[in-house]
Amino acid sequence: MSVTSNETLVEAEAVAPAPAAAPKRRRGFFAGGHYIPYVMILPAVAALIGVMAYPLYSLFDLSFQNVNRYAQLVNPSLSRYIGLDGYTKVLSDDQFWEVVLRSVYFTVELVVLSMVLGMLFALLLNRVSPWAKVTVITVLMFVWAIPAIVTGTIFKWLFASKGGVIDYIGYLFGGTSETKNYDWFADPTVGLYVVSAAVIIWGALPFLVIGLHAALTQVPKELIEASKLDGANALQSFRHVVVPVIKPFLLVSASLSFIWDFQVFAQIFSLRNSSPEPGYWNIGIYLYEKGIVSSHYSDSSVISIAMILLMLAVLVFYIRQVIKIGAQD
Each residue's pLDDT tens digit, 176-186: 777 888 899 99
User: Among the ranges 1-5, 109-113, 246-250, which has the highest mean pLDDT value?
Assistant: 109-113
DSSP letters for 148-178: HHHHHHHHHHHT-TTT-HHHHHHHHTT--HH
Whether 198 has a pLDDT exceeding 90, the answer reads yes
Q: Which of 12-26, 65-79, 287-301 has the lowest mean pLDDT?
A: 12-26
Mean pLDDT, rounded, for 103-115: 95
- Given this model, what pLDDT does residue 211 score? 92
Query: Domain spanning 93-328: which superfamily?
Result: MetI-like (1.10.3720.10)
Question: Predicted confidence band at 15 (pLDDT cuts at 50, 70, 90)?
Answer: low
Cα–Cα distance measured from residue 231 to residue 237, given in angstroms and rounded to the nearest whole number: 9
Cα–Cα distance measured from residue 316 to residue 323, given in angstroms and rounded to the nearest whole number: 11
Each residue's pLDDT tens digit, 226-278: 888 888 888 888 888 898 889 888 988 888 899 889 989 999 999 998 889 99
In the chain, which ranges are continuous DSSP H helix?
2-15, 36-63, 69-73, 85-91, 94-125, 130-145, 148-158, 165-172, 177-180, 188-190, 197-216, 221-229, 234-237, 243-262, 266-271, 283-288, 297-328
Cβ proximity of 300 and 214 under 8 Å: no
Task: Say how many Å lie between the first and final Cα of the chain, rounded.
Answer: 63
Whether 113 has a pLDDT exceeding 90, the answer reads yes
Whether 9 has a pLDDT exceeding 50, the answer reads no
Cβ proximity of 323 and 248 under 8 Å: no
pTM here? 0.80
Q: Which has the closest alpha carbon to 162: 184, 147, 188? A: 184
Whether 329 has a pLDDT exceeding 90, the answer reads no
- Given this model, what pLDDT does residue 27 score? 57
The per-residue b/e assignment along 177-202, b for 16 or more CB within 10 angstroms, e otherwise, is eebbebebbeebeebbbebbbbbbbb
Mean pLDDT, rounded, for 205-213: 93
- Please provide residue 81's backbone torsions phi and psi, each rounded to the nearest 5 degrees: -80, 130
- Given this model, what pLDDT does residue 294 score? 87
Report the mean per-residue pLDDT for the chain. Answer: 84
DSSP state letter for 296: -
CA angle at residue 160 from 155 to 165, to 5 degrees? 75
Q: Which of 54-63, 196-205, 226-235 has the lowest mean pLDDT?
A: 226-235
Domain boundaries, the chain: 93-328
- Given this model, what pLDDT does residue 286 score? 94
CA atoms within 13 A on the CB side of 11: 6
